[in-house]
Structure 1
């Protein structure tokens, strides 16, 4: 019999709660109409000097709101409507020169886009570094009403979450969602509506527990620091951090301050450490990469574990986050975020412990002004307690996503999807209806 362990992220940004529960449900098959009203371009973005893949590089279609990002292997998949026949794809990455690639020069696959490193010292352009890094961060947070979109937006986003036991995929869920993004100077929270989703699970790989991730897209949406600063830099906790300047860099050919932050040594409560990337000209947060400071295993376990069997220890070993913002017409908005958790489960009567990892990521692939300010009806809104793998269907249709831009799957995930589809074909040939 599978045991139940409940883990919660409490107030921490990102993953709301992780549940070890015993709910197994069959997947349904949904046939989708394949509408080829778009061109698909695949390839990779690399460093021009050493050919190293550039992870989470942004690709945007010029003069549109269509965009995507590279995956953890530097690969991308970009879908462009057929009516767009000219223009450029803008490719950008932190610390590199932005490149404009003519759309008519892109091939359907095997594109290789190389970016050049661009390292600029502030002294080279006559920009004076402020003396107080903490004051700059406060100023940046205070300017969200000036620098970020203050009109309602309707975003289309692709969300993916994976659960692994060591290196083997246990659960994969993907979704296209509509985000009803409220103005950055508004206290109203964003609403999310599920448009389309699919999943696959293999709980036989989890030994005596079944593992599910609670929170779905909210795991990543709440990593938007400028919209939800209370999850990391509220008025009470701000003084618990030490801020300092690191070497400057470039994003989209714009000069960027890099600020390191970490909690003071006298603070025992687990807080965050990482880097903030702030635009020099207008004091805008363009990106943030940070992690939870886990130095005390028992304290970290108390933060996350709410209920567990008496003969098992559960503790996190790594909790990390990333958020990237994009700019259009002088205003910035949420573009991409991810959250990752690694933890160990140690059974008293077993010789070795088990290592599990969960990753959630979401990328905005298109958006438009929400002129009417409409919101989804309550019955259509996703709840913060959603378990996406309970809402999604299966992998029966290889053209499931149609025209929607997604994050190109990593090789391990792509292999898992192909394996699922082969199993489905065999089941149909054999007249069975078993679906993984």
Structure 2
């Protein structure tokens, strides 16, 4: 992680830096990739849309009730859910912020091209008596105070799916995917979370990268690092709340829970500064979701934060930095469920008329978890370094059994097309 000291104290930025380096430079290799031992399971596919207009719902949460199995929808509202065959008599719940949740039997997903329509929550929430706070900063202070009691207190082993995409303009030029094991420390602990690589694959079309190999350092650690309830000081600690402006926005609802919506903005604008929204449960004062940005108008300071290396004759700087983190609840305790980081960069070449724009998207969804009852986890070669760069591996994209029983985020059509084109280009060469 990059550490940066501001005038008002210690300040940790959420992402490891982007590394823009010549295509023939060396990178850090991931741990050994393992193939899965297949179990008996059935894969179900479907799509989640807005009932009113048919628009796809991105990042809708699909869970198998009374289990820890879950997934999320892709940018086109599509999902894939793998369920062990011994769990066929189960129900499924689909939820999305601002929509009424829907629960149904597994039989619904047995239909081909199942479409789940969610209805917008039209309730006048401002009149609900449960909203008692009138001071937004006091609410956030209480949210941080309850961190130890509202979130997991036990070490937890999570299975998660990670995807990293790089686009130049509108074209996909690189795709990395991995199934990982997260060894998560309790939320009242200051210990760092660890990640072990289970399996991974990557492909890239470096011709479209404008003679650059754009590498995202940090890999799966990037979306995990924005678990701000595990590491609240990454943005604001309780003693630093005076450095932010907080105010209420219109409340909302998810999973039949009423949520405060708090807008926040860092007061000191001399360096890159945070602003965004916190979605806080009105009963337990738990952070359910956060959506925020890092203002990067200070171009030089932002470049120093994110760019490790670059070729001579170029200027490289970020123009948009956005983060999303979501939490899930089970038996009264909350845990990290989904993280997404989006970065957009501009590369200006000294003797070229037009610049190049790159978009880097890094997301991770927890698809299963269990409390660790085995004590201290023994590290092995599968554990990855927080500075990892996903190494090139052009195999595996045509292997339909590659991911086995692991739940993954269904690829977007644009990504699938990019995979085919990238693979064909590599095969032709």
- Normalised by the length of structure 1, the TM-score is 0.89
Equivalent-residue separation in structure 2 for 1:200 and 1:207 (angstroms): 16
> Residues 32 and 397 of structure 1 are in contact (CA less than 8 Å); yes or no, is this contact kept in structure 2?
no
After superposition, give the CA deviation of every residue in 1:19-66 in whole Å (9 maximum; x if it has no partner): 1223559x9xx9957846111111111111111111100000011000
- Write the mapping of 1:35-434 to structure 2, written as runs, cut at 5 A: 35=38, 37-107=40-110, 109-234=112-237, 237-264=240-267, 267-390=269-392, 394-419=396-421
Contact 1:120 1:248 in 2 (8 A): no
Aligned-residue CA RMSD (Å): 2.6
Q: Deviations over 1:190-228 (max 9, x none)?
A: 111001101101111112321111101110111101001
Aligned 8 A contact 1:398 1:421 in 2: no
1:68-124 C-alpha deviation (Å, 9 max, x unpaired): 000111111111111111121110000111100211221264110001111333453
Q: Which runs of 5 or more structure 2 residues have no equivalent in the other structure?
A: 5-10
Query: C-alpha separation between the residues in 1 aligned to 2:372 and 2:37?
Result: 28
Distance in 2 separating the partners of 1:267 and 1:213? 27
Q: 1:255: Cα distance to partner?
A: 0.5
Distance 1:237 1:344 in 2: 33
Residues 279-317 of structure 1: per-residue CA shift (max 9 Å, x gap): 000100000000111233233223333443452211111
CA distance in 1, matches of 2:36, 2:17: 35
Partner of 2:8: none
- Stretch moving more, 295-304 or 169-178: 295-304
Partner of 1:3: none
Residues 34, 199 of structure 2: 8 Å contact kept: no
Q: Is the 8 A contact 1:150 1:185 kept in 2?
A: yes
Tell me, what secondary structure is at the counterpart of 2:52?
coil
Deviates more, 1:119-128 or 1:286-295: 119-128
Superposed CA deviations along residues 218-276 of structure 1, whole A, max 9, x for unmatched, are 10111101001121113565322111001111110000000011122x53222111110
User: Is 1:325–1:333's contact at 8 Å kept on the other side of the alignment?
Assistant: yes
2:391 match: secondary structure? helix
Whether the 8 Å CA contact 1:59–1:89 is kept in 2: the answer is yes
Unmatched 5+ stretches in structure 1? 1-6, 428-433
In 2, Cα distance between equivalents of 1:375 and 1:392: 32
| Contact 2:168-2:357 within 8 A present in 1 as well | yes
Distance 1:373 1:393, change over 3 A: farther
1:131 deviates by: 2.0
Q: Distance in 2 between matches of 1:391 and 1:230?
A: 36
User: Given that residues 40 and 108 in structure 1 are in contact (C-alpha distance below 8 angstroms), is that contact kept between their aligned partners in structure 2?
Assistant: no
Q: Distance in 1 between matches of 2:357 and 2:371?
A: 43
Q: Distance in 1 between matches of 2:229 and 2:300?
A: 31
What number of residue pairs does the alignment pair up? 419
The 3-state SS of whatever aligns with 2:353 is coil
Contact 1:9 1:16 (8 Å CA) reproduced: no
The 1:382/1:8 distance shift into structure 2, 3 A limit, reads same
Q: Does structure 1 retain, via aligned residues, the 8 Å contact 2:159–2:181?
A: yes
Q: Hey, what's the Cα distance between the residues in 1 that align with 2:328 and 2:56?
A: 21
User: Could you tell me the TM-score, scaled by structure 2's length?
Assistant: 0.91
